[in-house]
């Protein structure tokens, strides 16, 4: 019997599972904190925590991750040089260096201008020493990739750097979006390479000899080689993996898959066993890409969301992520003593919470810091400290200094009250320090002039109601409605009546979901029963829900699709085959279609094998498009769309 090792590297936790696919059975599972400063530590700890010894029987290691998504949102990655062929930039680009070259094509794939190889060489050499990867995007290269391919040859001749062509990533029109996709793909190359190298280091330590797969944003798998070439495809890998895992565990064909993690809640709608795919392309970090990914709605609400009291006494949940008091205090008990001394409830904190604490993550590396920030670092180098302690040690009013810059730079982390702490204070969850969570609850209760029990009930109710609103918003958006629920006073009036009814209100409302909630992620057992009750729907929390992302990585399929478009020439005299690798001309539609179908099958098979598939099947979609007309008897031929998808399991 062969086993699959699934690993999910998330923002807070790294999850791992061992799955016996023949039996559809999870044998071992474990969690460990993700160590962003050195991913190998978290991965190693996760595998160690599984207490599994039969490493020689692992045939496939499959990864899912939020690293590409997070890096795109945060603007991280290597410096990229962008070469635009035949067109100036349409809008801002995620690069610092770019050059425009002569060339490009029209909608029929005919050249608009010849390439100037002297110009190309001069502009490529201008990138030397400034960039670590090159992206190439030609105008209408999806109709004819010849210019992009030739420019790539010249770049590879002159620079020893990774080179990415836009036509190799998408066959969809949209010059700007295709260019953004190519630039982001180039920028992400070292991010995903680091993850795979980290995993391989640990696998070597454990003597695990297995093929390495990674989950794409649509939930399917690809091999290591392809992942290094197309890291952009791993955008939304983590949430997509959770959908696959939730489907595998619950055997539910239709439902709202609700994945609550430490940083975010990710929601997807499952219909007929598959998630809806965003055909327009994934929007990540404000960039619209042409990456086909599952339609996932993400909200800044999770177990580590920051609980804040406003000046008016309202309790806010998220979207900022902080470290839970209970987690850090379990390792640094000095915080327990410091939290016992806190600000008077009448003392107004303008930019912070009375529960705030801070700890060092890494030493600064050349960043410009002011004197107060340097003093804060000196204090935190000896261990985590509360805001009250920092203000006392600095002898500065806490409203007159800020840790915001240090937190943004990743030098310092904020620690404060979170939903995880609420569960600890209630005794529902006991992995970390309950005493620290209770102290945090007492501090906020004191400032609200409530008892601890009253505060915990208020906080729990607020968290549950916010989770209900994520379900409502996701369902509204899935129906192509542009309403952003929380921005509408009218909508929120009715929502408040439904979710937080007053005793004497004269008018009542309620929500009624028409599909079950499939809950996955570590915190869902605590929060979702009340969410399902308020939404009047069934709740399904399958076994192993807390490691569903890793299970999704282990149980995904390989799906490689090749798309070819055939367009008629003038008066239907010729037929143009527009493939991702070439443009060809045929005299008859029959010959064009035979060639296109055969090539699509061959390329789909090759792509599936390169992705690591063993046994696979081909799914073929061959569609002729005609437009009706009242002028002549026959309809007018517009185009033929040929799509071949190879679907299979990784070879084990």
Q: CA 102: distance to chain centroid?
A: 36
pTM for this structure? 0.74
pLDDT of 652 reads 52
Q: So where are the chain's domains?
A: 79-187, 305-450, 557-650
pLDDT of 1 reads 61
Which residue spans within 104-250 are E strands per DSSP? 133-138, 163-165, 211-215, 221-223
pLDDT above 60: residue 320: yes
Q: Are the C-beta atoms of 307 and 315 separated by less than 8 Å? A: yes
pLDDT of 74 reads 67
Which helix (H) or strand (E) is 47 found in, with range?
Answer: helix 39-49
- Mean pLDDT of all residues in the chain? 87
Q: What share of the chain is helix, strand, coil (3-state, %, to 5)?
A: 40, 25, 35
pLDDT of 631 reads 60
Percent of the chain past pLDDT 90, that is, above it, reads 33
Q: Average pLDDT for residues 374-392, to the nearest whole number?
A: 92
Q: Are the C-beta atoms of 62 and 5 separated by less than 8 Å? A: yes
pLDDT of 629 reads 67
pLDDT above 70: residue 449: yes
Q: Average pLDDT for residues 163-182, to the nearest whole number?
A: 88
Q: Are the C-beta atoms of 326 and 463 separated by less than 8 Å? A: no
pLDDT of 179 reads 92
419: pLDDT confidence band, cut at 50, 70 and 90? very high
DSSP 543-575: TTGGGHHHHHHHH--EEEEEEEEEEE-GGGS-E
Burial class (CB in 10 A: 0-12, 13-18, 19+), 415: buried
Task: Give the fold, CATH level 3, of 79-187.
Answer: Rossmann fold (3.40.50)
Residue with tokens 């609103």: 469
Q: Are the C-beta atoms of 259 and 10 separated by less than 8 Å? A: no
pLDDT digits (tens, 9 = 90+) for 549-571: 888 888 878 888 889 999 998 76
- Residue 360's SS3 state is strand
pLDDT digits (tens, 9 = 90+) for 136-163: 999 998 889 999 999 999 999 999 888 9
Q: Are the C-beta atoms of 93 and 42 separated by less than 8 Å? A: no
pLDDT above 80: residue 644: yes
pLDDT above 60: residue 465: yes
- Please give the Cα distance from 82 to 89 (Å, whole number): 10
Q: Are the C-beta atoms of 80 and 134 separated by less than 8 Å? A: yes
Among 124-138, 255-269, 334-348, the range with the most confident prediction by mean pLDDT is 124-138
Angle (CA) 325-330-332 rounded to 5° is 90
pLDDT of 651 reads 62
pLDDT of 171 reads 80
263: pLDDT confidence band, cut at 50, 70 and 90? confident
pLDDT above 80: residue 403: yes
Token pair belonging to 221: 């798998």
Q: Average pLDDT for residues 626-635, to the nearest whole number?
A: 70
585's CB contacts (< 8 A; 6+ apart) are: 569, 574, 575, 576, 577
């Amino acid at each position: 019997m062969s086993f699959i090792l699934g690993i999910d590297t998330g923002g807070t936790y790294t999850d791992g599972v061992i799955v016996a696919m023949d039996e559809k059975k999870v044998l071992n599972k474990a969690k460990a904190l993700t160590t962003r400063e050195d991913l190998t530590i978290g991965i190693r700890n996760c595998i160690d925590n599984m207490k599994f010894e039969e490493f020689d029987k692992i045939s496939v290691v499959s990864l899912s991750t939020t690293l590409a998504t997070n890096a795109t949102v945060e603007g991280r990655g290597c410096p990229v040089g962008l070469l635009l062929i035949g067109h100036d930039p349409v809008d801002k680009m995620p690069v610092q260096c770019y050059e425009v070259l002569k060339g490009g094509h029209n909608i029929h794939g005919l050249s608009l201008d010849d390439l100037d190889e002297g110009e190309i060489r001069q502009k490529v050499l201008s990138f030397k020493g400034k960039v670590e990867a090159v992206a190439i995007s030609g105008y209408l290269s999806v109709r004819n990739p010849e210019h992009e391919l030739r420019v790539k040859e010249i770049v590879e001749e002159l620079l020893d750097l990774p080179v990415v062509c836009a036509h190799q990533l998408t066959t969809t029109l949209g010059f700007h979006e295709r260019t953004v996709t190519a630039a982001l793909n180039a920028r992400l190359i070292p991010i995903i390479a680091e993850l795979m190298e980290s995993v391989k280091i640990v696998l070597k330590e454990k003597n695990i000899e297995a093929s390495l797969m990674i989950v794409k944003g649509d939930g399917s798998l690809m091999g290591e080689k392809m992942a290094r070439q197309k890291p952009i495809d791993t955008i939304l890998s983590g949430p997509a993996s959770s959908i696959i895992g939730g489907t595998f565990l619950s055997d539910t064909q239709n439902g709202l898959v609700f994945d609550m993690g430490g940083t975010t809640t990710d929601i997807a709608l499952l219909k007929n066993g598959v998630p809806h795919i965003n055909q327009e392309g994934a929007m990540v970090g404000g960039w619209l890409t042409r990456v086909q990914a599952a339609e996932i709605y993400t909200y800044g609400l999770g177990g580590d969301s920051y609980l804040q009291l406003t000046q008016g006494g309202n309790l806010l949940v998220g979207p900022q992520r902080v470290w839970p008091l209970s987690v850090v205090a379990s390792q640094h008990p000095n915080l327990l003593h410091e939290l016992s001394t806190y600000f008077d409830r009448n003392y107004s904190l303008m930019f912070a919470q009375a529960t705030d604490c801070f700890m060092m993550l890494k030493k600064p590396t050349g960043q410009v810091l002011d004197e107060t920030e340097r003093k804060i670092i000196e204090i935190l180098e000896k261990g985590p400290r509360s805001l009250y302690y920092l203000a006392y040690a600095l002898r500065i009013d806490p409203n007159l200094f800020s840790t915001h810059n240090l937190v943004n730079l990743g030098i310092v982390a904020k620690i404060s009250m979170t939903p995880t702490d609420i569960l600890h204070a209630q005794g529902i969850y006991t992995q970390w320090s309950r005493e620290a969570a209770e102290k945090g609850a007492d501090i906020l209760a004191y400032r609200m002039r409530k008892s601890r029990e009253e505060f915990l009930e208020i906080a729990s109710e607020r968290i549950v109601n916010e989770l209900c609103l994520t379900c409502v918003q996701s369902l509204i958006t899935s129906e192509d409605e542009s309403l952003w629920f929380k921005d509408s006073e009218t909508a929120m009036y009715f929502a408040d009546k439904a979710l937080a009814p007053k005793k004497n209100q004269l008018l009542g409302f309620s929500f009624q979901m028409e599909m079950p909630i499939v809950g996955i992620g570590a915190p869902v057992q605590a929060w979702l029963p009340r969410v399902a009750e308020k939404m009047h729907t069934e709740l399904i929390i399958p076994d192993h829900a807390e490691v569903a992302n890793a299970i999704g990585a282990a149980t995904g399929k390989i799906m490689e699709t090749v798309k070819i478009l055939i367009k008629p020439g003038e008066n239907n005299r010729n037929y143009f085959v527009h493939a991702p690798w070439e443009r060809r001309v045929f005299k008859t539609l029959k010959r064009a279609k035979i060639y296109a179908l055969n090539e699509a099958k061959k390329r789909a098979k090759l792509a599936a094998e390169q992705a690591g598939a063993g046994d696979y099947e081909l799914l073929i979609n061959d569609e002729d498009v005609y437009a009706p007309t009242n002028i002549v008897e026959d309809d007018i031929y517009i185009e033929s769309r040929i799509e071949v998808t190879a679907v299979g399991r990784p070879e084990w």
